[in-house]
C-alpha cells in the first residue's frame, strides 16, 4: 500500500527515479567527495520537502529514488540538486574547481522516470471501464444523469 503524503489541498504519492552523471564521466565521487555530495543531496531535498527513499553514489554517477510534492516539477528538482551540489562541491574541493574550470561539474542531462504503486496498464483498464458518453480520441466524457 502506498504511503500518501498530504499538503493543504492535495493528497499525493509522486516518486521519481533520477540519475545524472559527472561531466566527461570522470570518476570523482570517491571518499570525502562522495560523502559530501550525499550530505548535500540530503540537505537540498530536505529543504524542498523531498524524501529520499533510496540513493546510491557511484564514482561517476548518482541514482536517487525521491518522493516529491506535486508543486515541484522533476526538471526543477534536478536543477536544484545538480546546481547547488556542484556549486558547494567546487567551493569545498579546490581540485574539482581545477578539473571543471567551466564551473559545470555534472553532465548536461539527466534521466527521470516516474515510479508508482499502480502500473500504466492498470490505470488504462480503470479508465476504459468507466461509463462513457462518447469517445473523443482517448479522452472521453463520462456519462452523467441530468435531473
Render pLDDT for 23-75 as a digit per residue (tens, 0 to 9): 999 999 999 999 999 999 999 999 999 999 999 999 999 999 999 999 999 99
Q: Where are the domains of the chain?
A: 5-117
Give the integer Cα–Cα distance in Å for 80 and 82: 6
For this structure, is 126 an active site residue?
Answer: yes
Q: Which of 24, 26, 80, 126 is catalytic?
A: 126
Give the integer Cα–Cα distance in Å for 14 and 10: 12
Position 122 confidence tier, pLDDT thresholds 50, 70, 90? confident
Looking at the domain covering 5-117, what would its CATH class be?
A: alpha beta
The structure's pTM equals 0.82
- pLDDT at position 125 is 82
Amino acid at each position: 500500500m502506498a504511503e500518501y503524503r498530504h499538503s493543504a489541498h492535495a493528497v499525493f504519492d509522486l516518486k521519481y527515479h533520477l540519475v545524472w552523471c559527472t561531466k566527461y564521466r570522470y570518476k570523482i565521487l570517491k571518499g570525502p567527495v562522495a560523502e559530501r555530495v550525499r550530505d548535500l543531496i540530503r540537505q537540498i531535498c530536505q529543504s524542498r520537502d523531498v524524501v529520499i527513499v533510496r540513493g546510491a553514489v557511484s564514482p561517476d554517477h548518482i541514482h536517487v529514488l525521491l518522493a516529491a510534492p506535486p508543486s515541484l516539477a522533476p526538471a526543477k528538482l534536478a536543477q536544484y540538486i545538480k546546481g547547488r551540489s556542484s556549486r558547494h562541491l567546487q567551493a569545498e574541493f579546490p581540485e574539482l574547481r581545477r578539473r571543471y574550470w567551466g564551473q559545470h561539474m555534472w553532465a548536461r542531462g539527466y534521466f527521470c522516470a516516474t515510479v508508482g504503486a499502480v502500473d500504466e496498464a492498470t490505470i488504462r483498464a480503470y479508465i476504459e471501464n468507466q461509463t462513457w458518453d462518447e469517445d473523443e480520441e482517448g479522452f472521453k466524457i463520462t456519462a452523467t444523469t441530468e435531473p
